[in-house]
Amino acid sequence: MKFRMTLKHIEPVTHDTHHLVFDRPEEFEYSPGQGVELRLLKDGWEDEGRPFTPVTLPHEPTLEFIIKSYPDHHGVTEQISVMKAGDEVEIKGPFGAISDQGPGVFIAGGAGITPMIAVLRKRLHDHGTLEGSTLVFANKTEADIIWRDRFEAMKGLRTAFVADERGTSVPQQRLDRDYLRQFVEPERRCYLCGPPPMMDAVREALHDLGVKDDRIVEEKM
């Protein structure tokens, strides 16, 4: 189904990421972790749909997104970064394979964090704690980390942040087998979302650590 929405509020989250707030259409139903196709109702952009994942929960009155912009692409995300309250969009969906399947290791790269936000928020809402879950979040730089303070404040959640470039408080580290073994056991549920090369490498590392495909919950971007 298609739904039309009006932007209520937009604010920066990091140097290239924005938080967008819309009123949730009453008939729009979804599960945390699912995404939608979003189109800008703006001349020349109506046919340029892109997938994004709401970070809010179905019982909440708003539908909110955390969207990273790529100005050098001169595409939809660049246009989103300059949106203003009152601008309109159309969404279609929901769709997606990531859902709450219990506690586990949430492994995200860059913008792949958004389905994880939704599932972690759902689990925290339902259980009051994220005890037994770990977030491993990789970014290009320390400045790219989305929602770091919020993740660190989530009750019971163990967090590990890494980057391609060394930061003041974030190690320069790839998500390889030797690094992941401290978080992963063969029977652990592993959630995975990020750029395809990162997902391929992490999936291989998880297999090397004894994690079978039926224990991996993943979404390709």
Question: pLDDT tens for residues 2-12?
Answer: 999 999 999 99
Q: For residue 62, what are its two tokens? A: 């708003």
Give the H/E segment covering residue 138: strand 134-139
Question: pLDDT tens for residues 16-30?
Answer: 999 999 999 999 999
Question: pLDDT tens for residues 186-204?
Answer: 999 999 999 999 999 999 9
* CB proximity list for 82: less than 8 A, separation 6 or greater: none
Q: Measured between alpha carbons, how far is 77 from 61 in angstroms, rounded to an integer? A: 24
| Average pLDDT of span 52-79 | 91
Give this prediction's pTM. Answer: 0.94
| Average pLDDT of span 34-43 | 95
Collapse the DSSP code of 98 into the 3-class scheme (helix H, G, I; strand E, B; otherwise coil) and give the result: coil
Q: Measured between alpha carbons, how far is 143 from 48 in angstroms, rounded to an integer? A: 29
Question: pLDDT tens for residues 114-151?
Answer: 999 999 999 999 999 999 999 999 999 999 999 999 99
Question: Which amino acid belongs to residue 49?
Answer: G
Question: Which amino acid belongs to residue 77?
Answer: T
